[in-house]
Homo-oligomer: A and B are copies of this chain.
Amino acid sequence: MIIKHNRLLNNIHETAQKFGAKGVWGSDVTETGVCRLALSDEDKGVRDWFVGEVTKLGCTVKVDQIGNIFATYPGKTNGPPIAIGSHLDTQPTGGRYDGILGVLSGLEVIQTLKDNEYTPHNPICVISWTNEEGARFPMSMMASSVWAGNVELPKAYSLKSVLEPLDVTVKKELQRIGYLGAVPASYKENPLAAHFELHIEQGPILENLNKKIGVLSGVQALRWIKVTVGGRAQHTGTTPFNLRKDPLLAASKMMVVANEIAQSKGGLASVGILNLEPGSVNVIPEKVTFTLDIRHNLDDKLADIERECKQKFAKIAEEGNGTSTKESLTIEFENLYDSPAVHFNENTIASVRQAAVETVGESNLMDIVSGAGHDSCNTSRVVPTSMIFVPSKDGISHNPTEYTKPDEIADGCQVLLGAVLNYDKFLQSSSKNT
């Protein structure tokens, strides 16, 4: 079976134009970004459109308590469906592909099954997860977290918008747009057999290595640490080096050493925020605060990076100005956020890999680990899960210029179809064996 990539592309571009087009970056009608905040009018618009399309294809539609839409195409059996899920909401300065590609490719998979009058063994379900971005209601991967049992429903309901209008909650907006469903938002009461997600890479690796498909083995472990270095505000002209306590010089050494540590351990370390006080050309800062973002594919290696960074940072602080009259700087660490490594299921990975080999050939695929979080991180906790990446031009995402080429999209959707059918066969043979 071959997907119809023009139909998929049309759906991508038509929904982008109809439901939240924003951020023109080129002269073509397809060259505009999308602002489609979770539970906004634009979100309602695309949800209604999606429900209309899947209903035409004969899917049954369920909406759960947190607004997740489950569109299920029937199989030969009544077992739990194999899901294809992602999200239709975007960042305020979003593009047309992040999340959207996954849901609309799911729709294309169902359309292809229907075109070919193919009935799978298990039902196939396309899911639109609510509020993956966390841009309007500040919790990313919100509704898949609720479904997977990571977050309590009342907590998600009570989240308040951080964008105007500020006085609305998730529950109010679900009611307003008509997507407060009755189906329990729980993997226990609304189970799935597996979860597949096609997503743009949002990074530059595939493009840079000329690969067409990324077969994901999991998602990196991530930790955010706030580092505060305290020194002494002094006059830059009247204070010799040996009498200084310069926290910015120390922070500079820390940033350089964090990079070296992460490189040596095959992980990542990055500083995205740095603030200093008081901030005057001729005053040595009194205090420097910066965030350290560390990542690794493996939890224990991440712990190694954290431990070594903290040890070496503390040593740099203790050395102060590094002279014989050294006075130590103060240093404090605050761990802000922690997300353990995700390892996808070997059977779902195998289904993806086989489909990728058939679609683009061994030499055009690569194993890859996601550096960003996805709804699949949540589903992976409770059902076999895997993801497929397609290239992102220049690694750009969360930006109107986010772009993936039409043939790359076609390949991705074809691999998604293949992966789901492979896994469906796997389930069928497993059920025969038992």
Cβ < 8 Å to B, chain A residues 265-288: 268, 270-274, 276, 279-285
Query: Which B residues are CB-close (under 8 A) to A177?
Result: none
The residue in A205, A262, A325, A370 that gathers the most chain B C-beta atoms within 10 A of its C-beta is A205
Taking the closest CB of chain B, its distance from the CB of A98, in whole angstroms, is: 11
**Protomer copies:** 2
Out of B237, B253, B272, which one reaches A279, CB within 8 Å? B272
Out of B201, B220, B272, B281, which one reaches A283, CB within 8 Å? B272
Query: Which B residues are CB-close (under 8 A) to A237?
Result: 203, 220, 222, 268, 293, 295, 370-372
Residue A263 interfacial (CB < 8 Å):
yes
Query: Which B residues are CB-close (under 8 A) to A204?
Result: 234, 238-240, 243
Name the residue on B nearest A237 (C-beta).
B371
Out of B256, B325, B397, which one reaches A235, CB within 8 Å? B397
Cβ < 8 Å to B, chain A residues 179-225: 201-205, 208, 220, 222, 224
Query: Which B residues are CB-close (under 8 A) to A295?
Result: 236-237
Query: Which B residues are CB-close (under 8 A) to A252?
Result: 251-253, 255-256
Name the residue on B nearest A337 (C-beta).
B281
Out of B203, B272, B276, which one reaches A238, CB within 8 Å? B203
Name the residue on B nearest A392 (C-beta).
B238
Taking the closest CB of chain B, its distance from the CB of A279, in whole angstroms, is: 5
Query: Which B residues are CB-close (under 8 A) to A90?
Result: none
Query: Which B residues are CB-close (under 8 A) to A235?
Result: 202-203, 371-372, 395, 397
Tally of chain A residues near chain B (CB < 8 A) = 53
Give 18 new A-B contacts, CB below 8 A, not counting A205-B238, A208-B325. A201-B238, A203-B239, A203-B243, A205-B243, A222-B237, A224-B281, A237-B295, A237-B372, A238-B370, A246-B270, A249-B259, A252-B252, A252-B256, A272-B282, A273-B279, A274-B274, A274-B276, A282-B293
A/B interface sample: 27 pairs, CB < 8 A? A202-B235, A202-B238, A203-B238, A203-B239, A204-B234, A204-B238, A204-B239, A205-B238, A220-B237, A235-B395, A235-B397, A236-B371, A237-B268, A237-B371, A238-B395, A248-B274, A249-B256, A252-B253, A253-B256, A256-B256, A272-B279, A273-B279, A273-B280, A274-B274, A274-B276, A281-B291, A282-B293
